[in-house]
Amino acid sequence: MKTPLALAITAAALALSTAATAQEPQRGGTIDTIIQPEPPGLVLGMIQNAPTRTVAGNIYEGLLRYTTDLEPMPQLAESWEVSDDGRTYTFHLREDVTWHDGEPFTADDVVFSADVFHRELNPSARAVLQHVESIEATDDHTVVFTLTEPFGPFLISFEAGTFTMVPEHLYAGTDFRNNEHNDHPIGTGPFKFANWERGTVIELVKNDDYYEEGLPYLDGVNWHVIPDGGSRAVAFENGTIDVLPSGTVENFDIPRLSAMDNVCMTEEGHEYFSPFAMLWMNNREGPTADKRFRQAVMYAMDREFAKDVLWNGLGNVPLSAFGSNARFQHDDLEPYDHNPERARELLDEMGYDGEEITILPLPYGETWTRWAEAVQQNLREVGINVSTQATDVGGWNQRLGDWDYDLAFTYLYQYGDPALGISRTYLSDNIAKGSPWNNVEGYENERVDELFNAAATAFPDEEREALYLEVQEILHEDVPVGWLMELGFPTLYRCDVKNLVTSGVGVNDGFKDAWLDR
């Protein structure tokens, strides 16, 4: 029921939003931003790390883009169809697209990129391509992907960073890694590569022939390389830098910087990655092998405190294994609230004898160290005998790879779909020594394996949802790992930079729509 007040508010909000959209974008201007650390190269698909994705996502494009709700938007493909059996995907490409060197972009480029380039170089694209039986160009602007069986996350795999389109006419038949064009990337995107002064700046300039009418508004984007975190914060403070992509300043500087005049902050633009902080718990041995102990750890931790105090209130405390940006999230589970009483009961019930366990913090800086201290204190307060072991990154990788730990901090990307970013943590055939990124905790549950495997290839989405809801109930009860937080990765920018974050990967492809109100 709407009250007059609510009506008034709605009306006001509508008026405001029309006012905002009515503002005419201005052309021109160059944005100075930060890239941290300096990427090793700019050819997407060949190089997968985060800084490469951030810069090159504005040079290269994928077939699709994704909204902040991870719904597909047209990019190089202007429309697409999925067959009724979920096995055939037909993409209709735009016909007015040219590469930065003037050559037209055609279906052959798509087939080459997917079938040759990514199959050879790109492990994350390969994981998707293993479900693909054939890729065919039926005409110059139509590509058909035929899958061996339905694969739920297929349509979310076409993000530029994961599945970029590379020019066939420059790469076909060459040694990809030593191709001369690697130093001067040629894409289809809104910005062209101009210049790279190693250790100083990467300059992108406007693509005047860009196919989307009127875009981009900016004349260019300069990505500055400033190795010291304090200096990056100062560069933003004194106005040299307009945009700080997430992760470029230390967490503890964010409250100070975001409180400055004319500084805006958004938490949007990381939905595709949606980093999920977890506590590995060794399911193989020691007290952590007991489900009740793991539940006690969940009840003992004050996760809201960690969010408010350590992460400046940004982020989200998850209910269970699926984060809020994951599809098919179960929202009707009993939350593991901070409940030391319940934790003590569970420990009594299992007869915990005070055996000492250790915590391995993530050696990624101050915030993670403080977080481990807070969790250690939380656990001590319910009577768990716990101590912390400090390591460096190498030691942390090795200890996790060797399963030599009790509790350990980590965070993982979710990549928009449970079959890409979540199931890998719980599937028993993903248990293998030597990697800190697989099923490190050693959780084995046949039913969970069945459900995850069935859900990845089920079709349509309603079928998948039922399977994923059941799996979440089992995981919620078993607590194979501790679910700490979905991290907020805020982007800070001057408020006169408009329309910066328009997709689920934020500034990685956001400068296309951005404009300066100066």
Partner 1 sequence: MSFFARFAQNRGALVGLVILLLMIAMAVLAPVLFPESPWRMVQRPFLPPFSQEGFLLGTDTMGRNVAAGLMHGAWVSLLIGLVSTCVALLIGVPLGAIAGYYGGLVDDALMRFTEFFQTIPNFALAIVLVAIMQPSVTSIVLAIAIVSWPPVARLVRAEFMSLRNREYVEAARLVGQSNSTIILRQILPNTLSPIIVLASLMVATAILLESALSFLGLGDPNVMSWGYMIGAARTVIRQAWWLSFFPGLAILLTVLALNLVGEGLDDALNPKLSRER
d(C-alpha 285, C-alpha 288), whole Å: 7
- 381 scored as a contact of partner 1 (CB under 8 A): yes
d(C-alpha 303, C-alpha 313), whole Å: 11
Measure CA of the first residue to CA of the last residue in the chain; give whole Å: 43
CA-wise closest residue to 488 among 338, 308, 267, 271: 267
3-class SS at 276? Answer: strand
Q: How far is the CB of 343 from partner 1 (least distance, A)?
A: 16
- 390 scored as a contact of partner 1 (CB under 8 A): yes
Helix boundaries (H) for 382-507 = 393-401, 418-421, 446-457, 461-478
- 366 scored as a contact of partner 1 (CB under 8 A): yes
d(C-alpha 35, C-alpha 222), whole Å: 9
Taking the least distance from each CB to partner 1, the nearer of 366 and 477 is: 366
Range in contact with partner 1 (rule: CB under 8 A) among 382-390, 403-411, 420-428, 435-443: 382-390
Contact with partner 1 (CB under 8 A) among 219, 290, 373, 463: 373
Binding residues for partner 1 restricted to 219-258, rule: CB under 8 A: 250, 252, 256
- 389 scored as a contact of partner 1 (CB under 8 A): yes
Q: Which residues contact 320 (CB under 8 A, 6 or more apart)?
A: 330, 333, 472, 475, 476, 483
Binding mask 165-204 for partner 1 (x = CB under 8 A): ----------------------------------------
- 260 scored as a contact of partner 1 (CB under 8 A): no
Range in contact with partner 1 (rule: CB under 8 A) among 376-384, 449-457, 468-476, 486-494: 376-384
CA 333, 339, 342, 344: dihedral to nearest 10 degrees? 140
* 209-238: burial string, b at 16+ Cβ within 10 Å, e else: ebbeeebbbbebbbbbbbeebeebbebbee
d(C-alpha 323, C-alpha 94), whole Å: 35
Taking the least distance from each CB to partner 1, the nearer of 49 and 377 is: 377
d(C-alpha 275, C-alpha 269), whole Å: 12
- 290 scored as a contact of partner 1 (CB under 8 A): no
- Tokens 């201007």 found at: 29
- 380 scored as a contact of partner 1 (CB under 8 A): yes
Contact with partner 1 (CB under 8 A) among 310, 455, 479, 497: 310
Range in contact with partner 1 (rule: CB under 8 A) among 69-77, 172-180, 371-379, 510-518: 371-379
Range in contact with partner 1 (rule: CB under 8 A) among 204-212, 219-227, 318-326, 372-380: 372-380
Binding residues for partner 1 restricted to 323-362, rule: CB under 8 A: 361
Contact with partner 1 (CB under 8 A) among 391, 414, 425, 439: 391
3-class SS at 132? Answer: strand
Taking the least distance from each CB to partner 1, the nearer of 58 and 339 is: 339
CA atoms in the 13 A half-sphere facing the CB of 204: 31
Contact assessment for residue 48 and residue 152, using Cβ atoms and an 8 Å cutoff: no
Taking the least distance from each CB to partner 1, the nearer of 83 and 367 is: 367
Q: How far is the CB of 402 from partner 1 (least distance, A)?
A: 15
Range in contact with partner 1 (rule: CB under 8 A) among 35-43, 135-143, 385-393, 494-502: 385-393
3-class SS at 319? Answer: coil
User: What is the contact surface with partner 1 in residues (CB under 8 A)?
Assistant: 250, 252, 256, 305, 309-310, 361, 366, 369-370, 372-374, 376-377, 380-381, 387-392
